[in-house]
């Protein structure tokens, strides 16, 4: 069964329910999407999908799926260059990929974004896993506030909302907490999903809480202090803290509302059908949701999946009741405001700046963005000049918050970079 | 330094932007992307005890540090 066949079947079960905020019903939405799908005359091809608004982007993604093609979401928000690079690469590929539903491009090292290939079955199985714990109801109104560039948003919010018969709302304004909160109130939103950074910002502008029934938190580490503050300000809201990765379509585990306070710090229990083991401290998972592989990168794929086990790159442990805790990263990846940043990507560009002899980028824990990116370097060039140089070449979310010129950079005895303050 | 400049300087320093001139562009010169700009706006609103009108927050009108100073001045 293709993903669209599955989605359509579920959506038609509640064809009279309201799907979108303008009153469009599920029956009407299915017809509309299939009508739009007709403009794609070929099958099983890779199709880059963009949209001027989240609403448009969502409709286009669904149309591509309905046309039996593979959706490759693109957007300017993470860099115009990256968007163009993806579009150029995809345009050159005329092959057919009948098993795929999506290719999601995310940050990678070595200057090349990784294309995570997800099959119809990957997504359908992850949606079924969500149904084992996330009671989204037809009466719920879910406000999608983040770009449709993340599989967590596409699967966890859009597609899940559609199969559950909820009303889907889109937040199209500038990303500002006061406005987001006001829109939630005006639209009687009941569900919002976001990163700890987003919820921290919301809490700053509404100490007395926000009017939501369910909140799903994901994308970066949720510190117990923030979890407590959120619960205290919103006693009527059910909070979930969940963990996943794009390579797993994405969801791996979930901490349920009943455990949100008493097991703060944990990302909950593994979802039904997900096997796990810890190897040298690293979390490995195995399930039908493990990606097909990285697009045109067999070497990286083979390093990531071995004998069906997905090497998450996260260091983790479980307690004796089976609750999972993520302790950190195995590699150097930094998570800033829920976005993946590889210090190597920044260092590579910085090293190319005339006058920079040596540099190191790292994350420093921060209560604004989870981690702030710091770049230290040795060389004759000024911090201002280096910043200007970087801003022309790095995608916006990779820009270091602090750039410091230092006399020397620490190194390990074998000469490796030391990535700490 | 005017009151508006002082408020903005404090906010930017908090966010690690150490020195900025009026002509500096928020993104390219100060290294603040849209995520960090959220933090700037939130902190400015806190310092002013007011909320900016939607119409004053058009991204196309907030390019330089000078634009942020003008915005702050407007709400003082």
Residue B28: pLDDT band (50, 70, 90) is confident
Q: Which of A284-293, A357-366, B15-24 has the lowest mean pLDDT?
A: B15-24
Percentage of chain A exceeding pLDDT 90: 70
For residue A168, what pLDDT is reported?
A: 98
Residue A395: pLDDT band (50, 70, 90) is confident
Minimum distance, in Å, between the CA of residue B16 and any CA atom of chain A: 6
Find the Cα–Cα–Cα–Cα dihedral B47, B48, B53, B55, rounded to 10°.
Answer: -80
Tell me the per-residue pLDDT of A248-285, one tens digit each, with 9 for 90 and over.
999 999 999 999 999 999 999 999 999 999 999 999 99
In 3D, which of B4, B70, B12, B72 has the Cα closest to residue B40? B12
Instruction: Please state, as a whole number, how many other Cβ atoms lie within 10 Å of the Cβ of residue A231.
Output: 17
Average pLDDT score over residue span B29-50: 84
Pick A174 or A58 by higher pLDDT. Answer: A58
For residue A322, what pLDDT is reported?
A: 94
Average pLDDT score over residue span A326-330: 88
- Best to test chain A binding among B30, B35, B42 (most A CBs inside 10 Å): B35
For residue A130, what pLDDT is reported?
A: 98
Q: Which helix (H) or strand (E) holds A299?
A: helix A298-304
Judged against a pLDDT cut of 70, whether residue A109 lies above it is answered with no
Residue A328: pLDDT band (50, 70, 90) is confident
Q: Contact at 8 Å (CB) between B26 and B64?
A: yes
Residue ranges, comma separated, of all CATH 3.40.50.12780 domains in chain A are 3-327
Q: Contact at 8 Å (CB) between B3 and B64?
A: no
Backbone φ and ψ of A117, nearest 5°:
-90, 120
- The rounded mean pLDDT for chain A is 92
Closest partner residue to B42 (CB to CB) among A201, A397, A402 is A201
Q: Which of A234-243, A292-301, A356-365, B22-31 has the lowest mean pLDDT?
A: B22-31
Judged against a pLDDT cut of 80, whether residue A413 lies above it is answered with no
Closest partner residue to A177 (CB to CB) among B33, B42, B59 is B42
Residue A28 to residue A35: CA distance in whole angstroms: 11
Residue B36 to residue A400: CA distance in whole angstroms: 11
- Tell me which chain B residue has its CA closest to the CA of residue A400: B31
For residue A421, what pLDDT is reported?
A: 54
Instruction: Please state, as a whole number, how many other Cβ atoms lie within 10 Å of the Cβ of residue A73.
Output: 25
Average pLDDT score over residue span B54-58: 84
- Per the listing, tokens 């969801």 go with A251
Sheet holding A238-244, edge to edge: A167-170, A141-144, A191-194, A214-217, A238-244, A251-255, A269-270
Residue ranges, comma separated, of all CATH 3.30.300.30 domains in chain A are 333-405
Q: Is the peptide bond before A250 cis (omega within 30 degrees of 0)?
A: yes
Judged against a pLDDT cut of 90, whether residue A77 lies above it is answered with no
Chain A CB contacts of B59 below 8 Å: 174
Q: What three-state secondary structure class fits A247?
A: helix
Q: What is the ipTM of this complex?
A: 0.71
Chain B CB contacts of A388 below 8 Å: 28-29
Q: What domains appear along chain B, each with residue ranges and CATH number?
A: 3-74 (1.10.1200.10)
Pick A107 or A96 by higher pLDDT. Answer: A96
For residue A95, what pLDDT is reported?
A: 97
Q: What three-state secondary structure class fits A317?
A: strand
Q: Which helix (H) or strand (E) holds A150?
A: none
In 3D, which of B50, B67, B18 has the Cα closest to residue A402? B18
Pick A306 or A342 by higher pLDDT. Answer: A306
- What architecture (CATH level 2) is domain A333-405? 2-Layer Sandwich (3.30)
Judged against a pLDDT cut of 70, whether residue B75 lies above it is answered with yes
Contact B42 A174 (CB under 8 A): no
Q: Which of A232-246, A363-377, A403-417 has the lowest mean pLDDT?
A: A403-417
Tell me the per-residue pLDDT of A177-230, one tens digit each, with 9 for 90 and over.
888 999 999 999 999 999 998 898 888 888 778 889 999 999 988 988 899 999
Chain B CB contacts of A372 below 8 Å: 16
**What superfamily would CATH give domain A3-327?**
ANL, N-terminal domain (3.40.50.12780)
Tell me the per-residue pLDDT of A111-138, one tens digit each, with 9 for 90 and over.
578 999 999 999 999 999 999 999 999 9
Closest partner residue to A401 (CB to CB) among B31, B46, B51 is B31
| DSSP structural state of residue A16 | T
Q: Which pair of structure tokens corresponds to residue A51?
A: 């949209």
For residue A317, what pLDDT is reported?
A: 95
Contact A369 B39 (CB under 8 A): yes
Minimum distance, in Å, between the CA of residue B65 and any CA atom of chain A: 15
Contact B46 A77 (CB under 8 A): no
For residue A206, what pLDDT is reported?
A: 80
Pairing of strands A141-144, A191-194: parallel
Residue A296 to residue A355: CA distance in whole angstroms: 36
Residue A39 to residue A247: CA distance in whole angstroms: 30
Read off the pTM.
Answer: 0.88
DSSP state string for chain B? --HHHHHHHHHHHHTT-----TTSBTTTTT---HHHHHHHHHHHHHHHTS---GGGG-GGG--BHHHHHHHHHHT-
């Amino acid at each position: 069964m293709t993903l669209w066949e599955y989605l359509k079947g579920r959506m038609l079960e509640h064809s009279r329910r309201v799907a979108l905020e303008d009153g469009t019903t599920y029956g009407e939405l299915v017809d509309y999407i299939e009508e739009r799908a007709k403009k794609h005359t070929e099958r099983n091809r890779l199709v880059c999908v963009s949209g001027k608004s989240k609403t448009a982007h969502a409709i286009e993604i669904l149309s591509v799926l309905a046309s039996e093609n593979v959706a490759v979401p693109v957007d300017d928000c993470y860099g115009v260059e990256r968007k163009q690079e993806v579009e150029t690469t995809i345009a050159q590929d005329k092959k057919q990929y009948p098993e795929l539903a999506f290719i999601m491009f995310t940050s990678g090292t070595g200057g090349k974004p990784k294309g995570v290939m997800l099959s119809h079955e990957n997504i359908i199985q992850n949606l079924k896993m969500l149904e084992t714990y996330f009671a989204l109801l037809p009466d719920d109104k879910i406000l999608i506030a983040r770009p449709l560039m993340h599989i967590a948003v596409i699967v966890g919010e859009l597609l899940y909302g559609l199969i559950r018969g909820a009303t889907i709302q889109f937040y199209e304004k500038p990303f500002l907490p006061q406005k987001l909160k006001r829109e939630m109130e005006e639209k009687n939103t009941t569900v919002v999903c976001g990163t700890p950074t987003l919820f921290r910002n919301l809490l700053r502008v509404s100490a007395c809480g926000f009017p939501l029934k369910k909140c799903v938190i994901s994308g970066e580490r949720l510190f117990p202090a923030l979890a407590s503050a959120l619960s205290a300000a919103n006693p009527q809201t059910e909070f979930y803290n969940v963990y996943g990765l794009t390579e797993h379509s994405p969801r791996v585990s979930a901490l349920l509302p009943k455990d949100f306070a008493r097991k703060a710090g944990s990302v909950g229990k593994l979802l039904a059908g997900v096997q796990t083991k810890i190897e040298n401290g690293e979390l490995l998972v195995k399930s039908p949701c493990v990606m097909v592989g990285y697009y045109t990168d067999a070497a990286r794929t083979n390093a990531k999946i071995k004998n069906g086990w997905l090497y998450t790159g996260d260091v983790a442990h479980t307690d004796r009741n089976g609750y999972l805790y993520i302790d950190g990263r195995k590699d150097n990846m930094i998570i800033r405001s829920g976005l993946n940043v590889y210090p190597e990507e920044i260092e590579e560009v910085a090293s190319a700046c005339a006058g920079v002899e040596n540099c190191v980028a790292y994350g420093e824990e921060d209560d604004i963005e989870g981690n702030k990116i710091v770049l230290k370097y040795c060389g004759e060039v000024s911090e201002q000049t280096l910043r200007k140089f970087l801003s022309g070449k790095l995608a916006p979310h990779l820009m270091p918050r602090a750039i410091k010129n230092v006399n020397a950079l620490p190194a390990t005895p074998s000469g490796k970079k030391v990535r700490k303050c | 330094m005017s009151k508006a400049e002082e408020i903005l300087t404090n906010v930017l320093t908090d966010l690690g932007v150490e020195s900025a001139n009026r002509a500096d562009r928020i993104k390219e010169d100060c290294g603040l992307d849209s995520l960090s700009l959220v933090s700037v706006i939130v902190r400015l609103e806190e310092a002013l005890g007011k909320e900016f009108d939607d119409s004053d927050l058009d991204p196309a009108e907030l390019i330089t540090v000078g634009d942020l100073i003008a915005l702050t001045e407007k709400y003082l």
